[in-house]
Amino acid sequence: MLSLSLIFSACILGTRAAKSNPYLVAYPSFLNVLPEPFDRPTFLTNLFYQTTLPSNAPPQYGAAYDTLHNASFISFDPRFATDVIGSATGPVEKVAVIEDGSQEMPMYLKDEGVIFWSGNDLTQFRTIDVKTYEVKNYTTSVPVPNAAAGTIHKGQMYLGNFGDTTVHGGIWLLDYKTGNATMILNNQLGLSIGADDMTADDRGGIFFTDTASRVPRTNRTMQSPAALYYLRLSTMSLIAVDPTLIGPNGVVLSPDGKELYVNDNGDTYNPPNNINAQVLTAGKLGSTVYVNSAGPRTIYAYTLSPTTGLPISRRTVAVAEAGFLDGMKVSSSGLIFAAVYGGVDVYDPDGTRLGRINIPDASPNGKPVEKHVVNIVFEGNNLWCFAYGGVYRVQGLLVKGDPRLG
């Protein structure tokens, strides 16, 4: 693997970069023209290195896919090797096995030395010690069912959840030390709301995404539309900032606070309502995740008004090559790290795909479902990836996270 990766890297990056990291492979340029007939049979769970090729394809094609499949880091642009993955960056390592389930809202609590997150099983909140990897349960004073979003604003932790079939979701305050969880919003003029991801700005507000179709709300007849929302905490004004999104999910501010990145994971209504729905995962909890194969898998950038802090225009940054985009973070250098099926994609805000942090196949039971990364968080120069079924970590990146998110 090492020698092949060096050859491929040398083709693209030159010898110096090729020697920089043994786990990094450059996407070889000869893959820009594939032998016919080639195909991506399902782009929900087939990654680019699983493109099918004719049986008589020259052997270097299959060998290249095999090498890319096994690599921890795949570069599409030389800046991935010079700006993100250093010579001492360690491989993607699995540090905790978690039973199947969505692992949401990881937040690095520096003073506690832990990352706090929420799973969608009964245990729900957990912490992992960043040094020992010890996983502990965390209990809130009252249940916060289907909690998926979290952010810290002026030392105060906010959570967002979808609720379940008996109670509505909404926005919460959490006192981490005591576990005191207090709901501050559970409706918009009587309509159900939910939050999948959230991020606080410096103006006393929280951007959050309500992916209305994502979690079944069987007892709710009416809910607010799937949208990017802004909650102004001083007045509790709830503003639907962009209701044209179909399945808004990850949301994060650029480090200079001038842009907001939001992704749209499309329509996850179950068949037969949606003839384009394909199964991405069948979870242990009996829930199946469907994705609209014809729907958006897009990261947008909103330019924020310097006076109001709210979006004044929107442009497309990138489209995922498989599955759907999930949680996002930014580095202090301004790069966008987006969780996606297969790993984490790193983009320049201009849309250039710099590289992929590649989650290995080998999970406790080897199920492909576990290659979906739900959310990520930086701990200094380390990146923690919370995937279906496990927690993965990369140590020693050349970038740190945006300090406002730590």
Ligand X SMILES: *[C@@H]1O[C@H](CO)[C@@H](O)[C@H](O)[C@H]1NC(C)=O
* Minimum CB–partner distance for residue 241 and ligand X (Å): 26
- Where in 271-330 is the site for ligand X (CB under 6 A)? none
Q: Which stretch binds ligand X (CB under 6 A): 175-183, 222-230, 236-244, 273-281?
A: 175-183
- Where in 91-150 is the site for ligand X (CB under 6 A)? 122-123, 136-137
Rounded CA separation 37/58 (Å): 13
Rounded CA separation 344/315 (Å): 21
Could you say whether residue 188 binds ligand X (CB under 6 A)?
no
Residue in 29, 219, 305, 316 binding ligand X, rule: CB under 6 A: 219
* Minimum CB–partner distance for residue 182 and ligand X (Å): 4
Between 64 and 148, name the residue whose CB sits nearer to ligand X. 64
Could you say whether residue 221 binds ligand X (CB under 6 A)?
no
* Minimum CB–partner distance for residue 23 and ligand X (Å): 11
* Minimum CB–partner distance for residue 322 and ligand X (Å): 19
* Minimum CB–partner distance for residue 126 and ligand X (Å): 8
Q: Which stretch binds ligand X (CB under 6 A): 44-52, 72-80, 172-180, 226-234?
A: 172-180
Q: Mention every residue, 6+ apart, whose C-beta is less than 8 A from residue 185.
A: 170, 171, 193, 231, 236, 238
Q: Which amino acid is at 38?
A: F
Between 198 and 260, name the residue whose CB sits nearer to ligand X. 198
Q: Which stretch binds ligand X (CB under 6 A): 82-90, 174-182, 242-250, 285-293?
A: 174-182
Residue in 15, 42, 182, 244 binding ligand X, rule: CB under 6 A: 182
Between 118 and 263, name the residue whose CB sits nearer to ligand X. 118
Residues contacting ligand X: total by CB under 6 A: 17
Q: What tokens were used for 376?
A: 């990520």
Could you say whether residue 67 binds ligand X (CB under 6 A)?
yes
* Minimum CB–partner distance for residue 59 and ligand X (Å): 12
Render 85-143 in DSSP notation, one character per residue. Answer: S-TTPPPPEEEEE--SS-EEEEEEETTTTEEEEEESSSS-EEEEETTT--EEE---SS-
Residue pair 404/333 in contact (Cβ under 8 Å)? The answer is no
Rounded CA separation 38/139 (Å): 50
DSSP SS3 for 84: helix
Largest Cα–Cα distance of the chain, in whole Å? 66
Rounded CA separation 95/323 (Å): 24
> Which candidate, 204, 214, 209, places its Cα nearest to that of 160?
209
Rounded CA separation 341/93 (Å): 17
Tell me which residue has its CB nearest to ligand X: 1
* Minimum CB–partner distance for residue 120 and ligand X (Å): 13
Q: Where are the beta strands (DSSP E) in 110-233?
A: 114-119, 125-129, 135-137, 147-153, 156-163, 168-175, 180-185, 197-200, 205-210, 227-232
Between 158 and 302, name the residue whose CB sits nearer to ligand X. 158
Binding residues for ligand X, rule: CB under 6 A, are 1, 4, 66-67, 70, 122-123, 136-137, 165-166, 173, 175, 180, 182, 218-219
